[in-house]
Chains A and B, each alone.
Chain A
Amino acid sequence: MSSGDLLGTGISALLAFQRSLSTTSHNISNVNTDGYSRQLVSLGARLPQGDGTGFIGTGVQAITVLRQYSNFISSQVLTNSTASTRLDSYYQYAKQVDNLLADANTGLAPGLQEFFGAVQDVATDPTAIPARQVLISQGQSLVDRFHTLDTNLNTLNQSINTNLSSEVVTINSLGGSIAKLNNDISIAAGSAGGQPPNDLLDQRDALIEQLSLHVSVATITQDDGSINIFIGNGQNLVIGNQSAQLSVTANQYDAQQGEITVTMGGTSSVATSKLTGGSIGGSLDFRAQILNPARNELGRVAIALSQTLNAQHQAGMDLNGTLGQALFTPPAPQILASSSNGAGAAITVAVSDVGALTKDDYLLQYNGTNYLLTNMTTNSTQTLGAAGTYVVDGLTLDVATANSGDRFLILPTRAAAGGISLAISDPRSIAAATPIATATTAANTGNGRISAGTVTDISNTAFTTTTGVLTPPITIRFTSAVAYDVINTTTSAVLDSGVYNPVTGNNIFPTTTNSLDYGYQVRITGAPATGDTFTVDYNTNGTGDNRNALALAGLQTSGVLSNGTTTYGESYGNLVSSIGAQTHSADINLQSQTTLLQQSKDQRASVSGVNLDEEAANMLRFQQAYQAAAQVISIASSLFGTLLGALRG
């Protein structure tokens, strides 16, 4: 036995407990540091020395400083925080669209109601100029509402583009820092003989967690301690100490829309669709699932409104006796050519059937032989064929020439809400009347009656040959109780004849023998006698007629969209409630995801977090142990002194 051993043991204890105390104080100092994992000194007994009497222990040593950290729980936190920021970003944007559409000052529903109210007022008093003036200004207000909605939705679109740029900067810097830390960690571990550089590891984890807020992250730990990071659907960001660079480039169809390109080791690829999760995933999902469909649907309502109102208005007669002109001008469908297309392609698209119009976007491709059309919502492709005219979903596509490999993005309704405008300004030009008027000849002996008449096809030559004149004016003469002739009133020439059913009454056109049709319809009911006549002529000076205004007002409640099943108001209502439902479910999901995130963070803190009371108790423990070890040294010293004293004496 030697007192040196005693001294050595005591000193080893002092050193070990010093380390423990300094680690405890490190923990206490970092109680409020984000991402800090508490550290414990792992103590181990030193190797004993053995001789004939047994093995004598030689004290304690600090083996390593252990970071209290669970890989599994940390990856749970990553998953949950990505999902949570994705939903949060999605929800915040969705809420804005939700409020915009439903607000009484910006929403479309009040505008539609006021416009059609003005139409009804014109129908009630067709010659009053003030009522007509109000209709024109309500038309302008309605157009303004469409514009405001579109502008606001477009602003959201712009802000997503702007955000993409700043997200890209953040991700690049995080990726760069993580790559540098990978390098530092492997150097530090090497220089300390394999001991883990705990605080660097904590820093790296914190950066990875920050990254997960922006985009979903997958990590793979390498043998040398570095972590490879993959974002989104397997897009690599950090490999060892190299990091990829993200940049925002122009979309091939629309230079103002941003795409994210990843560049690593000299190769670049467009990766926007692969970046899911986090705030990037949230804003891209919002754009695809809520923003673009909302703009398309709004545009669809705008196109339906202008086309159907125009068609009905043009079938009417204004105060000057001329046929109505267009009320609104909707913009045509957009055709965006890819930036990689060749020159000289000739493609046109027009809306031909509003009832069949959808709110989808389409991709048109030419493979050298055939044109192919893909519906971007359902992802189904149909082969159209070679150059020609095709009708799909209410659109007429005229595909004349294209280069092989050319691609075109077709947005039928996206720009309509922003581009619609009012085409009428003169109150006298509002066509409240119908261009034809009928009359029952007074001398008739039977009791037949003729209806007031409706226009079925304003482009018929009866209307277009001369303005303000019906060509020809018609007399319907009954040759018997069940047959009539259709006669040109001016020349008395018999144009055709027809069969009459006195029990039910008849529509007169198209006539039985030669299917004569002049673009209007009249109905005779009752029992005309032989020789009875009825006339149809242009409604000259018929300024008090309101039949067309009534028809215009009736469009508000008639099924115009979705193959004749939905009114404008209902379509808009469907849009509002579907956005409302999506926002609502995003809210619910966000709340539950936030709870999950909170729970996983609690679990992580439970393992890695510093508890001040615990550290206080540890401090007391190590302090006591240090004092005891110091006492051992003083005993060792007094033993030596006793030994020396004995030898002197």
Chain B
Amino acid sequence: MRVATSQLNQNAVVAMLDQQSKLNNVQQQIATGKRVLTPADDPAASARILSLNQAIDLTKQYLRNSDSATTRLDLEETALTGSEDVLQRVRELAIQANNATLTATDRSSIGLEVRQLLSQLQGLANSKDASGEFLFAGFRVNTQPFTDDGNGVYSYNGDQGQRQVQVGPNRVVDVGDSGASVFVNLPLTAGGLQDIFTTLEAFATNLEANVANPDIIADIDTALNKVLTVRSNVGVRLNVIQGQTDTNNGYLLQMKQALSGVQDVDYADAISQLNQQTVALQAAQQSYVKVQGLSLFNYLR
């Protein structure tokens, strides 16, 4: 086919520009480390990248939520353990007070210690978390749950709400127990329901007056069992969170690997392409120079 002189030049230049553009593309891939530079490079992959990124961010959020939940539950567990210790000590005192050989004065001093323990228990029941929210007030976290009027009448000012935290895609965990389910509405041996503070108040008053308390040990046991039950619930929840955290971490790793597989450049492949392209460009440039010099006019001198 007949070739015009202008064509020789033009085609050679177009070929060189093309090689340069391919070289530039490979170089960009290597420099950024990404195979998919714009969605147009691989539309299906770019959709996948967006959804993988969302899954990764969500999972990281769940891990953060799990940390918060664990912190709060740990605080609750500490308060419950403390309450348990207090009730154990009161139980010991109750057994001690039962001893027939004690005098009224002895009982009175036991009563004093019981009052102190009562105040300690009240303090534990009114525990706050790091943000200043009351742990055992249900949803009314800015209202002190347990107050007394100074005359031994105790009121619960919270509600029965339990806050939940999302630790997985379809997993929520309770991060609190309302005071109503721990310290209030405990069945008495003598019948009826009463909160532990009123019970202990009555115990202390009786001790000071040297009056017998036949049901006190059973009542304290009821309260202790309640605290233990709630505490083991908290332990179960902590385990659940731990299990979910492990699952989340495993999932996160998988997603990150998938993302890398879709998005990142394979360096070995890219660098060998870079070499090929460089050689191709050099060949185009050198052959252009060679062909340029050929003309009949060179010989017509």
Bound together, the chains give a CA A242 to CA B82 distance in angstroms of 101
Q: Is the CB of A543 within 8 A of B140?
A: yes
Across the interface, do A109 and B43 meet the contact criterion of CB distance under 8 Å? no
Q: Is B133 an interface residue (CB 8 A)?
A: yes
Residues facing A in B56-114 (CB within 8 A) are 57-58, 61, 64-65, 68-69
Q: Is the CB of B39 within 8 A of A544?
A: no
Interchain CB contact (< 8 A) of B4 among A542, A580, A584, A609:
A609
Contact B6 A544 (CB under 8 A): no
Q: Which of B68, B164, B180, B297 contacts A550 (CB 8 A)?
A: B164
Separation of A102 and B139 alpha carbons in the complex (Å)? 42
- On whether the beta carbons of B172 and A544 are closer than 8 Å, the reply is no
A439 contact from B14, B51, B159, Cβ within 8 A: B159
Q: Looking across the interface, which residue of chain A has its beta carbon closest to that of B169?
A: A557
Contact in complex: A542, B11 (CB < 8 Å):
no
- Given A437-B161, A550-B166, A544 and B65 contact (CB-CB distance below 8 Å): no
Point out the residue from A31, A120, A573 that lies within 8 Å of B50, measured CB to CB.
A573
A415, chain B: closest CB distance, angstroms:
25
The answer to whether A576 touches B165 (Cβ under 8 A) is no
In the complex, which residues of chain A have a beta carbon less than 8 angstroms from the beta carbon of B50? 109, 569, 572-573, 576-577
Contact B57 A113 (CB under 8 A): yes
The answer to whether A545 touches B3 (Cβ under 8 A) is no
Q: Does B31 contact A (CB under 8 A)?
A: no
**For residue B193, which residues in chain A have a CB less than 8 angstroms away from its CB?**
442-443
CA A98 – CA B37 in complex, angstroms? 11
A32 interfacial by beta-carbon distance below 8 Å: yes
Interchain nearest-CB distance for B233 vs A (Å) = 15
CB distance from B138 to the nearest CB of A (A): 7
> With A127-B141, A584-B40 in contact, is A546–B11 under 8 Å at CB?
no
Q: Are B5 and A576 in contact (CB under 8 A)?
A: no
* Contact between A125 and B43, CB atoms less than 8 A apart: no
Chain A 511-555 interface mask (CB, 8 Å, partner B; 1/0): 000000000000000000000000000011111111100100100
Known contacts: A95-B38, A120-B61. The answer to whether A544 contacts B296 by CB under 8 A is no
Say how far A134's CB is from chain B's closest CB, in angstroms. 13
Q: Could you tell me the distance in whole angstroms from the C-beta of A587 to the nearest C-beta in chain B? A: 6
Given contacts A95-B40, A437-B161, A544-B133, contact A442 B185 (CB under 8 A): yes
Cα separation A363 to B296 with both chains bound (whole Å): 69
Q: Does A617 contact B (CB under 8 A)?
A: yes
| Cα(A562)–Cα(B14), bound, Å | 47
Q: How far is the CA of A584 from the CA of B142 in the complex (A)?
A: 57
Known: A443-B193, A612-B297, A613-B295. A539 touches B139 (CB 8 A): yes
Let me know if A605 and B4 touch, CB within 8 A. Answer: yes
In the docked arrangement, what's the CA distance between A437 and B180, Å?
Answer: 14
**Is B47 at the interface (CB under 8 A from chain A)?**
yes
What's the nearest-Cβ distance from chain A to residue B137, in Å? 7
Task: Tell me, yes or no, whether B290 is within 8 Å of chain A by CB.
Answer: no
Q: Which of B151-172 contact A (CB under 8 A)?
A: 159-166, 169, 172
**Interface contact B39-A577, CB-CB below 8 Å:** yes
Instruction: Report the Cα distance A392→B97, complex, angstroms.
Output: 81
The answer to whether the Cβ of A158 comes within 8 Å of any Cβ in the partner chain is no
- Tell me whether B131 is interfacial, beta carbon within 8 Å: yes
Q: B241 to chain A: closest CB distance in Å?
A: 13
**Are B169's CB and A577's CB within 8 A?**
no
- Does chain A have a CB within 8 A of B289? no
The bracket for how many chain B residues form the interface is 35 or more
Known contacts A442-B180, A606-B7, A609-B4: does B43 contact A577 (CB below 8 Å)?
Answer: yes
CA distance A233 to B53 in the complex (A): 46
Give bound CA distance, A127 to B296, whole Å.
90
By a CB distance below 8 angstroms, the chain B residues around A95 are 38, 40
Contacts of B185 in A (CB 8 A): 442
* A581 interface residue (CB < 8 Å to B): yes
With contacts A541-B140, A611-B3 taken as known, whether A616 is within 8 angstroms of B68 at the C-beta atoms is no
Q: Are A605 and B7 in contact (CB under 8 A)?
A: yes
Are B14 and A542 neighbours in the complex by a CB distance under 8 Å? no
Please give, as numbers and ranges, the residues of chain B lying within 8 Å of A569 by CB-CB distance: 50-51, 54
Is there contact, CB below 8 Å, between B54 and A123? no
Contact of A439 with B160 at beta-carbon distance under 8 Å, contacts A127-B133, A612-B5 already known: yes
A99 with B54, Cβ < 8 A, contacts A577-B43, A612-B296, A620-B300 known: no
Kindly list chain A residues whose C-beta atoms are within 8 Å of the C-beta of B190. none
Determine which residue in A32, A442, A570, A602 has the highest number of CB atoms from chain B within 10 A of its CB, and name it: A442
Instruction: Report how far A591 CA is from B14 CA in the complex, Å.
Output: 13
Contact of B140 among A544, A553, A581 (CB under 8 A): A544
- B143 contacts chain A at the CB level, 8 A cutoff: yes
B4 near A541 with CB under 8 A, answer no
Question: CA of A556 to CA of B4 in the docked complex: distance in angstroms?
Answer: 64
Closest 4 CB pairs of A and B: A609-B4, A580-B39, A544-B141, A542-B139
29 A-B pairs with C-beta separation under 8 A: A31-B5, A31-B6, A99-B38, A102-B38, A117-B57, A123-B65, A437-B139, A442-B180, A442-B185, A442-B193, A539-B159, A541-B143, A542-B138, A544-B140, A544-B163, A569-B54, A576-B39, A576-B46, A576-B50, A577-B43, A579-B39, A583-B40, A584-B41, A584-B42, A584-B43, A606-B1, A607-B2, A611-B5, A617-B296
A positions within 8 Å CB-CB of B? 31-32, 94-95, 98-99, 101-102, 109-110, 113, 116-117, 120-121, 123-128, 433, 437-440, 442-443, 452, 539-547, 550, 553, 556-557, 569-570, 572-574, 576-581, 583-584, 587, 598, 602, 605-613, 616-617, 620
Question: In the complex, given contacts A95-B40, A617-B296, what are 5 additional A-B residue pairs having Cβ atoms less than 8 angstroms apart?
Answer: A442-B184, A541-B139, A572-B50, A579-B39, A580-B43
